[in-house]
Amino acid sequence: MVRRALLISAALAVSLAAAGCQRETAEVPPDPVVRVVRAAQIPDASVRSYTGVVRPRTEVAQAFRVGGRVAERLVDIGATVRAGTVLAKLDPTDLNLNVESAEAELAAARSALAQAGVESQRIAALLKGGHASQAAFDTRTVALDEAKARVERDERALDLARNQLGYAVLTSNVDGVVTAVSAEAGQVVQAGQEIVRVARLGGDDREPQKEVQVAIPESRLGDLKDSGAVVTLWAEGDRTYRASVREIAPQADAATRTYAVRFALPAADDAVRLGMTATVTLTRGTGQTVTRLPLAAVFNAGDGPGVFVVEPDEKTDGRGTLRFQPVGIVRYETTDAVVTGVPANAWVVSMGVRRLQPGEKVRPDERAEPARQSGLAEPGTAGPAVRS
Protein backbone atom coordinates (compact mmCIF):
# COMPACT_ATOMS: atom_id res chain seq x y z
CA MET A 1 0.00 0.00 0.00
CA VAL A 2 2.81 2.38 0.87
CA ARG A 3 4.52 1.63 -2.41
CA ARG A 4 1.32 2.25 -4.33
CA ALA A 5 0.86 5.63 -2.63
CA LEU A 6 4.40 6.63 -3.55
CA LEU A 7 3.80 5.75 -7.20
CA ILE A 8 0.60 7.80 -7.28
CA SER A 9 2.37 10.78 -5.70
CA ALA A 10 5.20 10.59 -8.26
CA ALA A 11 2.72 10.44 -11.14
CA LEU A 12 0.89 13.52 -9.82
CA ALA A 13 4.15 15.43 -9.49
CA VAL A 14 5.11 14.62 -13.07
CA SER A 15 1.64 15.71 -14.32
CA LEU A 16 1.81 18.99 -12.42
CA ALA A 17 5.28 19.70 -13.77
CA ALA A 18 4.15 19.04 -17.32
CA ALA A 19 1.09 21.27 -16.90
CA GLY A 20 3.30 24.03 -15.51
CA CYS A 21 5.60 23.85 -18.51
CA GLN A 22 2.66 23.99 -20.90
CA ARG A 23 1.24 26.98 -19.05
CA GLU A 24 4.60 28.74 -19.17
CA THR A 25 4.90 28.01 -22.88
CA ALA A 26 1.35 29.27 -23.61
CA GLU A 27 2.05 32.51 -21.84
CA VAL A 28 4.65 33.50 -24.53
CA PRO A 29 2.57 34.84 -27.48
CA PRO A 30 3.87 34.40 -31.05
CA ASP A 31 4.99 37.40 -33.10
CA PRO A 32 2.02 39.02 -34.89
CA VAL A 33 1.91 38.62 -38.66
CA VAL A 34 1.41 41.87 -40.57
CA ARG A 35 0.55 42.54 -44.19
CA VAL A 36 3.22 44.74 -45.76
CA VAL A 37 3.79 46.58 -49.05
CA ARG A 38 7.10 47.57 -50.59
CA ALA A 39 7.45 51.37 -50.82
CA ALA A 40 8.47 52.56 -54.27
CA GLN A 41 9.51 56.15 -54.92
CA ILE A 42 7.94 57.45 -58.12
CA PRO A 43 7.40 60.82 -59.79
CA ASP A 44 4.10 62.40 -58.82
CA ALA A 45 2.62 62.56 -62.30
CA SER A 46 -0.20 60.85 -64.16
CA VAL A 47 -0.49 61.00 -67.94
CA ARG A 48 -3.60 60.58 -70.07
CA SER A 49 -4.02 61.12 -73.80
CA TYR A 50 -7.10 61.94 -75.88
CA THR A 51 -7.47 62.07 -79.66
CA GLY A 52 -9.21 65.02 -81.29
CA VAL A 53 -9.44 67.22 -84.37
CA VAL A 54 -8.06 70.68 -85.13
CA ARG A 55 -10.91 73.16 -85.55
CA PRO A 56 -11.20 76.93 -85.81
CA ARG A 57 -12.33 78.75 -82.72
CA THR A 58 -15.23 80.49 -84.47
CA GLU A 59 -17.08 79.30 -87.55
CA VAL A 60 -19.94 81.30 -89.06
CA ALA A 61 -22.52 79.59 -91.27
CA GLN A 62 -23.43 81.90 -94.16
CA ALA A 63 -26.96 81.48 -95.53
CA PHE A 64 -29.48 83.31 -97.73
CA ARG A 65 -32.30 85.05 -95.90
CA VAL A 66 -34.70 84.08 -98.71
CA GLY A 67 -35.22 80.87 -100.63
CA GLY A 68 -34.63 80.30 -104.32
CA ARG A 69 -32.39 78.71 -106.93
CA VAL A 70 -28.64 79.28 -106.59
CA ALA A 71 -27.46 81.08 -109.71
CA GLU A 72 -23.72 80.98 -108.91
CA ARG A 73 -21.28 80.28 -106.08
CA LEU A 74 -18.23 82.52 -106.19
CA VAL A 75 -15.91 80.97 -103.54
CA ASP A 76 -14.37 77.58 -102.88
CA ILE A 77 -12.95 75.87 -99.80
CA GLY A 78 -9.79 77.57 -98.62
CA ALA A 79 -10.62 80.98 -100.07
CA THR A 80 -9.85 84.00 -97.89
CA VAL A 81 -12.75 86.44 -97.76
CA ARG A 82 -13.36 89.83 -96.23
CA ALA A 83 -16.55 91.22 -94.75
CA GLY A 84 -18.71 92.18 -97.72
CA THR A 85 -17.20 89.68 -100.15
CA VAL A 86 -19.88 88.15 -102.40
CA LEU A 87 -20.13 84.42 -101.73
CA ALA A 88 -23.10 83.34 -103.86
CA LYS A 89 -26.13 84.67 -105.74
CA LEU A 90 -29.73 83.56 -106.22
CA ASP A 91 -31.78 83.79 -109.39
CA PRO A 92 -33.47 87.22 -108.90
CA THR A 93 -36.34 86.73 -111.40
CA ASP A 94 -39.10 86.05 -108.88
CA LEU A 95 -37.78 88.67 -106.48
CA ASN A 96 -37.79 91.31 -109.23
CA LEU A 97 -41.41 90.44 -109.96
CA ASN A 98 -42.24 90.93 -106.27
CA VAL A 99 -40.65 94.38 -106.37
CA GLU A 100 -42.58 95.35 -109.50
CA SER A 101 -45.83 94.11 -107.96
CA ALA A 102 -45.19 96.13 -104.79
CA GLU A 103 -44.42 99.22 -106.85
CA ALA A 104 -47.73 98.87 -108.75
CA GLU A 105 -49.66 98.41 -105.51
CA LEU A 106 -48.07 101.55 -104.10
CA ALA A 107 -48.87 103.55 -107.22
CA ALA A 108 -52.52 102.48 -107.02
CA ALA A 109 -52.68 103.35 -103.33
CA ARG A 110 -51.26 106.80 -103.98
CA SER A 111 -53.85 107.43 -106.72
CA ALA A 112 -56.63 106.38 -104.37
CA LEU A 113 -55.22 108.72 -101.73
CA ALA A 114 -55.21 111.65 -104.15
CA GLN A 115 -58.82 110.94 -105.13
CA ALA A 116 -59.89 110.62 -101.50
CA GLY A 117 -58.22 113.97 -100.76
CA VAL A 118 -60.13 115.73 -103.55
CA GLU A 119 -63.44 114.23 -102.44
CA SER A 120 -62.81 115.28 -98.86
CA GLN A 121 -62.12 118.89 -99.89
CA ARG A 122 -65.25 119.01 -102.06
CA ILE A 123 -67.50 117.66 -99.29
CA ALA A 124 -65.98 120.13 -96.84
CA ALA A 125 -66.87 123.03 -99.18
CA LEU A 126 -70.44 121.77 -99.65
CA LEU A 127 -70.84 121.30 -95.90
CA LYS A 128 -69.73 124.88 -95.35
CA GLY A 129 -72.39 126.14 -97.78
CA GLY A 130 -75.04 123.96 -96.24
CA HIS A 131 -75.35 121.67 -99.29
CA ALA A 132 -73.97 118.50 -97.67
CA SER A 133 -74.69 116.66 -94.47
CA GLN A 134 -72.26 116.06 -91.62
CA ALA A 135 -72.59 112.31 -92.15
CA ALA A 136 -71.36 112.59 -95.74
CA PHE A 137 -68.39 114.66 -94.58
CA ASP A 138 -67.51 112.09 -91.91
CA THR A 139 -67.66 109.28 -94.47
CA ARG A 140 -65.21 111.08 -96.78
CA THR A 141 -62.90 111.80 -93.86
CA VAL A 142 -62.76 108.09 -92.93
CA ALA A 143 -62.09 107.18 -96.58
CA LEU A 144 -59.21 109.66 -96.68
CA ASP A 145 -57.66 108.18 -93.53
CA GLU A 146 -58.01 104.69 -94.96
CA ALA A 147 -56.30 105.74 -98.18
CA LYS A 148 -53.36 107.20 -96.21
CA ALA A 149 -52.97 103.96 -94.24
CA ARG A 150 -53.06 101.92 -97.45
CA VAL A 151 -50.24 104.02 -98.88
CA GLU A 152 -48.12 103.47 -95.76
CA ARG A 153 -48.74 99.72 -95.91
CA ASP A 154 -47.77 99.49 -99.57
CA GLU A 155 -44.62 101.54 -98.94
CA ARG A 156 -43.57 99.00 -96.30
CA ALA A 157 -44.35 96.15 -98.69
CA LEU A 158 -42.16 97.74 -101.36
CA ASP A 159 -39.30 98.16 -98.87
CA LEU A 160 -39.63 94.48 -97.90
CA ALA A 161 -39.60 93.36 -101.55
CA ARG A 162 -36.51 95.43 -102.26
CA ASN A 163 -34.78 94.01 -99.18
CA GLN A 164 -35.56 90.48 -100.32
CA LEU A 165 -34.11 91.31 -103.72
CA GLY A 166 -30.95 92.44 -101.94
CA TYR A 167 -30.87 89.18 -99.99
CA ALA A 168 -30.40 87.35 -103.29
CA VAL A 169 -26.73 88.31 -103.03
CA LEU A 170 -24.98 86.49 -100.16
CA THR A 171 -22.02 88.38 -98.68
CA SER A 172 -19.69 87.41 -95.86
CA ASN A 173 -20.27 89.22 -92.58
CA VAL A 174 -16.80 88.36 -91.18
CA ASP A 175 -13.19 88.24 -92.30
CA GLY A 176 -12.12 84.63 -92.54
CA VAL A 177 -11.35 81.49 -94.50
CA VAL A 178 -13.94 79.31 -96.22
CA THR A 179 -13.91 75.90 -94.53
CA ALA A 180 -16.98 74.28 -96.13
CA VAL A 181 -19.46 74.75 -98.98
CA SER A 182 -22.89 73.14 -98.94
CA ALA A 183 -24.56 74.25 -102.17
CA GLU A 184 -23.84 74.36 -105.89
CA ALA A 185 -25.20 76.42 -108.77
CA GLY A 186 -28.65 75.24 -109.82
CA GLN A 187 -29.57 73.91 -106.39
CA VAL A 188 -32.81 75.15 -104.81
CA VAL A 189 -32.27 76.21 -101.23
CA GLN A 190 -34.46 77.39 -98.38
CA ALA A 191 -34.08 80.49 -96.29
CA GLY A 192 -31.48 79.90 -93.57
CA GLN A 193 -29.92 76.83 -95.24
CA GLU A 194 -26.13 76.87 -94.92
CA ILE A 195 -24.35 77.72 -98.17
CA VAL A 196 -20.80 78.50 -97.05
CA ARG A 197 -19.03 78.18 -93.69
CA VAL A 198 -16.37 80.75 -92.83
CA ALA A 199 -13.77 80.44 -90.05
CA ARG A 200 -13.19 83.83 -88.48
CA LEU A 201 -9.64 85.14 -88.74
CA GLY A 202 -7.54 85.54 -85.60
CA GLY A 203 -5.92 88.61 -84.16
CA ASP A 204 -3.02 88.54 -86.63
CA ASP A 205 -5.55 88.82 -89.48
CA ARG A 206 -3.86 86.00 -91.38
CA GLU A 207 -4.97 82.68 -89.91
CA PRO A 208 -8.05 81.53 -87.96
CA GLN A 209 -7.53 80.94 -84.28
CA LYS A 210 -7.05 77.17 -84.04
CA GLU A 211 -8.15 74.77 -81.35
CA VAL A 212 -8.27 71.03 -80.75
CA GLN A 213 -11.62 69.50 -79.83
CA VAL A 214 -11.63 66.18 -77.94
CA ALA A 215 -14.31 64.07 -76.25
CA ILE A 216 -13.67 63.31 -72.57
CA PRO A 217 -15.80 60.93 -70.45
CA GLU A 218 -17.51 62.45 -67.45
CA SER A 219 -15.45 60.24 -65.12
CA ARG A 220 -12.26 61.89 -66.44
CA LEU A 221 -13.24 65.54 -66.29
CA GLY A 222 -11.15 65.78 -63.13
CA ASP A 223 -8.05 65.29 -65.31
CA LEU A 224 -8.54 68.82 -66.59
CA LYS A 225 -7.93 70.35 -63.18
CA ASP A 226 -4.34 71.38 -62.46
CA SER A 227 -3.07 69.53 -65.53
CA GLY A 228 -0.62 70.68 -68.16
CA ALA A 229 -1.76 70.09 -71.74
CA VAL A 230 0.45 69.39 -74.75
CA VAL A 231 -0.76 68.79 -78.32
CA THR A 232 0.99 66.63 -80.90
CA LEU A 233 -0.09 66.21 -84.52
CA TRP A 234 -0.19 62.83 -86.19
CA ALA A 235 1.23 64.40 -89.34
CA GLU A 236 3.97 66.23 -87.38
CA GLY A 237 4.83 63.78 -84.61
CA ASP A 238 8.13 65.46 -83.73
CA ARG A 239 6.55 68.78 -82.77
CA THR A 240 4.55 69.72 -79.71
CA TYR A 241 2.34 72.70 -78.92
CA ARG A 242 1.34 74.03 -75.54
CA ALA A 243 -2.40 74.14 -75.04
CA SER A 244 -4.92 75.31 -72.47
CA VAL A 245 -8.56 74.47 -71.81
CA ARG A 246 -10.79 77.15 -73.30
CA GLU A 247 -14.24 75.60 -73.26
CA ILE A 248 -16.00 72.62 -71.70
CA ALA A 249 -19.41 71.69 -73.07
CA PRO A 250 -22.10 72.22 -70.42
CA GLN A 251 -23.95 69.05 -71.47
CA ALA A 252 -22.77 65.56 -72.41
CA ASP A 253 -23.41 64.11 -75.84
CA ALA A 254 -26.60 62.06 -75.74
CA ALA A 255 -25.10 59.13 -77.66
CA THR A 256 -21.53 58.87 -76.35
CA ARG A 257 -22.02 60.43 -72.88
CA THR A 258 -18.81 62.40 -73.35
CA TYR A 259 -18.15 66.12 -73.03
CA ALA A 260 -16.69 68.16 -75.90
CA VAL A 261 -13.62 70.03 -74.62
CA ARG A 262 -11.74 72.63 -76.68
CA PHE A 263 -8.05 73.36 -76.13
CA ALA A 264 -6.68 76.67 -77.42
CA LEU A 265 -3.39 76.66 -79.35
CA PRO A 266 -1.95 80.18 -78.95
CA ALA A 267 1.32 79.26 -80.70
CA ALA A 268 -0.17 77.32 -83.64
CA ASP A 269 1.76 77.84 -86.88
CA ASP A 270 1.16 76.97 -90.53
CA ALA A 271 1.89 73.29 -89.82
CA VAL A 272 -1.35 73.11 -87.82
CA ARG A 273 -4.01 72.75 -90.48
CA LEU A 274 -7.74 72.65 -89.91
CA GLY A 275 -9.13 69.12 -89.81
CA MET A 276 -5.86 67.47 -88.76
CA THR A 277 -5.90 64.66 -86.21
CA ALA A 278 -4.20 65.66 -82.97
CA THR A 279 -3.46 64.10 -79.59
CA VAL A 280 -3.94 66.07 -76.37
CA THR A 281 -1.74 64.76 -73.55
CA LEU A 282 -2.65 65.79 -70.00
CA THR A 283 0.05 65.57 -67.33
CA ARG A 284 -1.09 65.98 -63.76
CA GLY A 285 1.08 66.05 -60.63
CA THR A 286 3.54 68.08 -58.57
CA GLY A 287 6.68 66.59 -60.12
CA GLN A 288 8.20 65.66 -56.75
CA THR A 289 9.20 62.13 -55.73
CA VAL A 290 6.40 60.46 -53.76
CA THR A 291 5.24 57.09 -52.52
CA ARG A 292 1.76 55.71 -53.17
CA LEU A 293 0.39 53.62 -50.28
CA PRO A 294 -2.98 52.13 -49.34
CA LEU A 295 -5.16 54.46 -47.31
CA ALA A 296 -5.13 51.96 -44.42
CA ALA A 297 -1.36 52.25 -44.10
CA VAL A 298 -1.45 55.94 -43.04
CA PHE A 299 -2.67 56.94 -39.59
CA ASN A 300 -2.40 59.81 -37.16
CA ALA A 301 -2.15 59.09 -33.43
CA GLY A 302 -1.98 62.76 -32.51
CA ASP A 303 1.63 63.48 -33.43
CA GLY A 304 1.08 63.90 -37.17
CA PRO A 305 0.54 61.43 -40.00
CA GLY A 306 2.87 58.48 -40.36
CA VAL A 307 3.28 54.81 -41.21
CA PHE A 308 4.83 51.73 -39.58
CA VAL A 309 8.03 50.53 -41.24
CA VAL A 310 9.30 46.99 -40.56
CA GLU A 311 13.05 46.92 -39.93
CA PRO A 312 14.29 43.33 -40.37
CA ASP A 313 16.31 41.79 -37.54
CA GLU A 314 19.74 40.59 -38.62
CA LYS A 315 19.90 37.67 -36.12
CA THR A 316 16.30 36.47 -36.51
CA ASP A 317 15.10 35.00 -39.77
CA GLY A 318 11.84 36.50 -41.02
CA ARG A 319 11.21 38.82 -38.07
CA GLY A 320 11.36 42.59 -37.80
CA THR A 321 10.84 45.54 -35.50
CA LEU A 322 8.21 48.21 -36.04
CA ARG A 323 9.33 51.81 -36.40
CA PHE A 324 7.02 54.80 -36.68
CA GLN A 325 7.92 56.85 -39.79
CA PRO A 326 6.43 60.39 -40.08
CA VAL A 327 5.23 61.25 -43.61
CA GLY A 328 4.01 64.27 -45.51
CA ILE A 329 0.60 64.04 -47.16
CA VAL A 330 0.51 65.15 -50.78
CA ARG A 331 -3.11 64.15 -51.38
CA TYR A 332 -5.68 61.48 -50.65
CA GLU A 333 -7.27 59.57 -53.51
CA THR A 334 -10.06 57.02 -53.71
CA THR A 335 -8.03 54.01 -52.48
CA ASP A 336 -4.52 55.39 -52.03
CA ALA A 337 -2.60 58.06 -50.19
CA VAL A 338 0.23 59.88 -51.93
CA VAL A 339 2.91 60.71 -49.34
CA THR A 340 6.52 61.79 -48.99
CA GLY A 341 9.17 60.79 -46.43
CA VAL A 342 9.08 57.01 -46.80
CA PRO A 343 12.49 55.41 -47.49
CA ALA A 344 12.82 53.65 -50.82
CA ASN A 345 12.09 49.90 -50.78
CA ALA A 346 11.00 49.98 -47.13
CA TRP A 347 8.44 47.44 -45.93
CA VAL A 348 5.37 49.40 -44.86
CA VAL A 349 2.53 47.85 -42.88
CA SER A 350 -0.54 48.20 -45.08
CA MET A 351 -3.38 47.31 -42.70
CA GLY A 352 -4.20 46.95 -39.01
CA VAL A 353 -1.76 49.69 -38.02
CA ARG A 354 -3.86 51.01 -35.11
CA ARG A 355 -3.36 47.76 -33.18
CA LEU A 356 0.44 47.93 -33.37
CA GLN A 357 3.04 49.72 -31.24
CA PRO A 358 6.50 51.10 -32.09
CA GLY A 359 9.29 48.64 -31.20
CA GLU A 360 7.00 45.64 -31.44
CA LYS A 361 8.36 42.46 -33.00
CA VAL A 362 6.38 41.33 -36.06
CA ARG A 363 6.64 38.87 -38.88
CA PRO A 364 5.91 40.29 -42.38
CA ASP A 365 3.35 38.40 -44.40
CA GLU A 366 4.98 36.48 -47.22
CA ARG A 367 2.05 37.38 -49.48
CA ALA A 368 3.15 40.99 -49.54
CA GLU A 369 1.36 43.32 -51.90
CA PRO A 370 3.32 44.51 -54.96
CA ALA A 371 4.74 48.01 -55.03
CA ARG A 372 2.31 50.59 -56.30
CA GLN A 373 3.73 52.20 -59.41
CA SER A 374 0.95 54.64 -60.31
CA GLY A 375 2.35 57.69 -61.93
CA LEU A 376 3.17 56.13 -65.26
CA ALA A 377 0.79 56.34 -68.20
CA GLU A 378 -2.39 54.63 -67.06
CA PRO A 379 -3.81 51.77 -69.12
CA GLY A 380 -6.50 52.52 -71.65
CA THR A 381 -4.97 55.80 -72.80
CA ALA A 382 -4.31 56.44 -76.45
CA GLY A 383 -1.82 58.46 -78.40
CA PRO A 384 1.93 59.03 -78.23
CA ALA A 385 3.83 60.05 -75.13
CA VAL A 386 4.63 63.70 -74.44
CA ARG A 387 7.58 65.02 -76.36
CA SER A 388 9.72 67.84 -75.02
* Contact call for residues 230 and 89 (beta carbons, < 8 A): no
Query: Could you tell me what percent of the chain has a pLDDT over 70?
Result: 84
**DSSP-derived 3-state class of residue 8:** helix
Query: What DSSP assignment string belongs to 84-152?
Result: T-EEEEE--HHHHHHHHHHHHHHHHHHHHHHHHHHHHHHHHHHHHHTSS-HHHHHHHHHHHHHHHHHHH
The string of pLDDT tens digits covering residues 103-161 is 999 999 999 999 989 888 888 888 888 888 888 888 888 988 999 999 999 999 999 99
**Cα gap 303→382, rounded to integer Å:** 44
The string of pLDDT tens digits covering residues 21-52 is 554 444 556 778 889 999 888 887 778 899 99
Q: How confident is the model at residue 368 (pLDDT cuts 50, 70, 90)?
A: very low
| Bridge partner list, 215 | 260
**DSSP-derived 3-state class of residue 187:** coil
Q: Model's pTM, two decimal places? A: 0.57
